[in-house]
């Protein structure tokens, strides 16, 4: 049994993937299952933390003893994360947030007409929530963690992203067709803003989650 080393702490975890609607029946989405974020929420609760799980479209059971806030879009996820982050000791952004959303939402289902050319879909930028939480630090000493899925030059791209986002820790994993998404297991390197590099061997998503909380707990002191 683990020490309740996160007792008295409030942690916020985002999980799942955002869906950006085009009309009442269509959306732009991604393949994130939410499993890594849910594993982070479960393990933090097991270590004594009060946990707010901002869950974007994950069809997973609510973890026991965790406050789950369901959201759909990136804009909704931002609202929920910023609200919960106000008194949080740590924020872990495990959700796959869409970088762009359709510029307009059609209130009725978009129709096709015979011989019609495909209509262009115009996209606009979504807010970068991780960068915003990192820049704001709603509470002093707050530890902010991001995730990055990379397909090539994993470490170099991870280092650059850590710097760009301004977070304390960045969990970098290599993704490919049979890797990570929807899987029960993960393999990663956790990069620290202090230059640290913590490899996590291929294993259950809970093991990676516990390594993240070890590194967070170290930084909370
Ligand atoms: O830039 P990229 O999408 O690779 O960054 C991934 C990290 O940034 C994840 O932690 C994700 O939750 C977060 N993110 C965000 N807001 C966005 C895009 C990504 O918070 N609009």
Here the CATH number for the domain that contains residue 155 is 3.40.50.10300
Report the relative pairing of strands 197-204 and 185-192 from DSSP bridges. Answer: antiparallel
Ligand 1: which of 97, 132, 133, 158 to mutate, most ligand atoms within 8 Å of CB? 97
Q: Whose CA is nearest to atom 5 of ligand 1?
A: 148
Tell me the per-residue pLDDT of 22-33, one tens digit each, with 9 for 90 and over: 999 999 999 999
Q: 146 φ, ψ to 5°?
A: -115, 170
Tell me the per-residue pLDDT of 93-104, one tens digit each, with 9 for 90 and over: 999 999 999 999
pLDDT band of residue 114 (cuts 50, 70, 90) is confident
Does the annotation list 163 as a binding residue? no
Closest-lying ligand 1 atom to the alpha carbon of residue 81:
20
Residue 186 belongs to domain spanning: 10-99+123-220
Q: Is residue 116 part of a domain?
A: no
**15 close to ligand 1 (CB < 6 Angstrom):** no
Q: Contact 133/89 with Cβ under 8 angstroms?
A: no
In this prediction, residue 207 carries a pLDDT of 96
In total, how many domains does the chain have?
1
Q: Whose CA is nearest to atom 21 of ligand 1?
A: 128
The pTM assigned to this predicted structure is 0.95
Q: Is residue 196 part of a domain?
A: yes
In this prediction, residue 157 carries a pLDDT of 96
Q: Is residue 109 part of a domain?
A: no
Q: Whole-angstrom Cα distance, residue 168 to residue 196?
A: 10
Q: Is residue 129 part of a domain?
A: yes
Does the annotation list 99 as a binding residue? yes
**pLDDT greater than 60 at residue 180:** no
Average pLDDT over the chain, rounded to an integer: 94
β-pair partners for 203: 186
pLDDT band of residue 179 (cuts 50, 70, 90) is low
Interhelix angle 129-136/154-165, rounded to 10 degrees, is 50
Q: Supply 118's token pair.
A: 């495909």
Q: Whole-angstrom Cα distance, residue 213 to residue 219?
A: 10
Is 30 catalytic? The answer is yes
Q: Is residue 2 part of a domain?
A: no
């Amino acid at each position: 049994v683990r020490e309740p080393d996160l007792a008295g702490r409030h942690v916020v975890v985002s999980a799942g993937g955002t869906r950006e609607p085009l009309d009442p029946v269509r959306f732009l989405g991604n393949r994130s299952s939410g499993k890594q974020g849910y594993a982070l929420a479960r393990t933090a609760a097991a270590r004594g933390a009060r946990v707010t799980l901002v869950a974007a479209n994950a069809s997973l059971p609510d973890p026991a003893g965790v406050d789950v806030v369901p959201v759909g879009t990136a804009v909704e996820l931002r609202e929920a994360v910023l609200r919960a982050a106000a008194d949080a000791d740590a924020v872990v952004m495990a959700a796959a947030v869409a970088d762009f959303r359709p510029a307009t939402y059609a209130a009725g289902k978009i129709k096709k007409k015979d011989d019609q050319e495909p209509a262009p879909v115009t996209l606009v930028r979504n807010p970068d929530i991780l960068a915003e939480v990192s820049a704001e630090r709603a509470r002093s000493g707050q530890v902010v963690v991001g995730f990055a899925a990379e397909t090539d030059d994993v470490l170099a791209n991870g280092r650059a992203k850590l710097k760009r986002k301004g977070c304390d820790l960045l969990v970098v994993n290599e993704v490919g067709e049979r890797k990570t998404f929807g899987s029960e297991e993960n393999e990663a390197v956790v990069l620290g803003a202090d230059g640290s590099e913590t490899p996590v061997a291929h294993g259950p998503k809970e093991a990676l989650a516990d390594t993240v909380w070890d590194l967070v707990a170290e930084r909370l002191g």
